Amino acid sequence: QVKKLCDQKLLIRMKTKCVPCSLNLDTQCPAGYTKITNGTGTPDCRYYLEIKTHTLSFPGCRHRCVKEFEQPECCQGHWGPDCMGK
């Protein structure tokens, strides 16, 4: 029995919205994603507040999230919807 399906593991990364670090403790990743940062997250972004005629920029925090899924793929030398082609 020759293996015809070679699933590829894909890691999808995303970051949550930039918010004040003090508010970022409770930030959750979207459904299906796993949070890989702790506490207030990573202080690597800026968020903006509009005050009357000015927009102010402040340092903020965001969390990093990952989601893993398997993408079915045919092994080398096989092709087609059921990977039966050679």
This prediction's pTM: 0.72
73/80 Cα distance (integer angstroms): 10
The answer, yes or no, to whether residue 59 has pLDDT greater than 70, is yes
| 54 CB-contact burial (10 Å; exposed 0-12 / middle 13-18 / buried 19+) | exposed
Tens digit of each residue's pLDDT (9 = 90 or more) over 27-48 = 999 999 999 999 999 999 999 9
Task: Identify which of 60, 59, 63, 68 has the alpha carbon closest to the alpha carbon of residue 15.
Answer: 63
Among the residue ranges 7-16, 25-34, 49-58, 76-85, the one predicted with the least confidence is 76-85
Number of Cβ within 10 Å of residue 52's Cβ equals: 5
CB-based contacts of 80-86 (< 8 A; 24+ apart in sequence): 82/4, 83/4, 83/5, 84/4
